[in-house]
């Protein structure tokens, strides 16, 4: 199953939906995690405009004012959602892959900017992962970096980074080497760069798809780069770390 994560900074422009739909088609995407829909009533979202005419299923979380809003879309012939768990900052689709592919849980994240709220989110996610079996993939906008090199022209918050790294270390989450870019987010003035969008996977996911390839795609009408995770048996070059 191939995954796409995209902070689109508002779903109101139909050109953004067309772009996501093209990425899905061109990369054989089976699961899409979208952040910052900015829709306070997700029922008004035209989900098919993102996915296209083929069969799909979806989960949503409403935005709070003009902030946040989450949308998961997937191919039900590949992924079967059994449970949906929602929070203002995350949307978890708990399920399994068809044809004996095993249990897998996908969590779409749009983390808050406030560091205390981030700590609460890390705890909530840790508790969530302890509550269900299966492999885990957490993807989205974490609004936090892990080390100074992941920021350029902005201040590094060591306490926030340590809290984030502790969250990652405790369940032994990992990241694949990201191709295509060093940073995923650019400020509106173009001066500040950071790696705040990422994909984290558990050890069983890493074992099952050790040769997966993670790519940071070009930005399109957003200050964030979409992230593409292609899972395949073919060799993709640099190993994950």
Residue 69: its pLDDT value, please?
A: 97
Output the CA angle 184-190-191, nearest 5 degrees.
Answer: 95
Residue 121: its pLDDT value, please?
A: 98
CB burial readout 83-114, b (16+ within 10 A) else e = eebebbbbbbbbbbbeeeeebbbbbbbbbbee
Residue 234: its pLDDT value, please?
A: 43
| CA dist., res. 143 & res. 163, Å (int) | 13
Residue 237: its pLDDT value, please?
A: 41
Cα atoms found within 13 Å of the Cα of residue 186, Cβ hemisphere only: 15
Residue 240: its pLDDT value, please?
A: 45
Contact 138, 200 (CB under 8 A): yes
Residue 178: its pLDDT value, please?
A: 97
| CA dist., res. 12 & res. 9, Å (int) | 9
Q: What is the DSSP string of 100-159?
A: TTEEEEEEEEE--SSHHHHHHHHHHHHHHHHHS-SEEEEEEE-S--SSGGGEESS---HH
Residue 115: its pLDDT value, please?
A: 96
Q: What is the DSSP string of 14-75?
A: HHHHHHHHHHHHHHTEEEEEEE----SSGGG--THHHH-SS--EEEEE--BTTB--EEEEE-
Residue 66: its pLDDT value, please?
A: 83
What number of other Cβ atoms are within 10 A of residue 150's Cβ? 18
Residue 232: its pLDDT value, please?
A: 65
Residue 238: its pLDDT value, please?
A: 46
> The dihedral of CA 146, 156, 37, 125: what is its sign?
positive
| CA dist., res. 24 & res. 52, Å (int) | 9
Listed as ranges, residues in the chain with pLDDT below 50 are: 234-241
Where do the structural domains in the chain lie, given as residue ranges? 2-230
For the domain covering 2-230, report its CATH number: 3.60.10.10
């Amino acid at each position: 199953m191939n995954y796409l994560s995209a902070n689109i900074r508002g779903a109101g422009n139909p050109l953004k939906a067309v772009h996501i739909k093209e990425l899905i088609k061109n990369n054989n995407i089976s699961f899409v995690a979208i952040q910052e829909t900015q829709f306070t009533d997700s029922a008004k979202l035209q989900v098919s405009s993102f996915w296209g005419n083929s069969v799909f299923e979806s989960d949503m979380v409403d935005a709070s004012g003009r902030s946040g809003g989450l949308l998961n879309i997937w191919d039900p012939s590949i992924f079967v959602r059994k449970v949906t768990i929602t929070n203002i900052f995350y949307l978890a689709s708990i399920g399994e892959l068809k044809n004996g592919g095993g249990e897998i849980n996908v969590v779409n994240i749009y983390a808050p900017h406030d560091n205390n709220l981030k700590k609460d989110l890390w705890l909530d996610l840790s508790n969530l992962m302890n509550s269900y079996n299966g492999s885990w993939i957490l993807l989205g906008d974490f609004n936090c970096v892990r080390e100074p090199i992941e920021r350029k022209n902005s201040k590094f918050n060591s306490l926030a980074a340590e809290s984030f790294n502790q969250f990652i270390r405790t369940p032994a989450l990992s990241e694949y080497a990201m191709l295509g870019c060093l940073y995923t987010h650019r400020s509106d003035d173009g001066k500040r760069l950071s790696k705040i969008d990422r994909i984290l996977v558990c050890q069983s996911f890493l074992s099952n798809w050790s040769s997966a390839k993670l790519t940071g795609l070009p930005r399109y009408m957003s200050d964030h780069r979409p992230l593409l995770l292609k899972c395949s048996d073919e060799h993709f070059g640099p190993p994950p770390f």
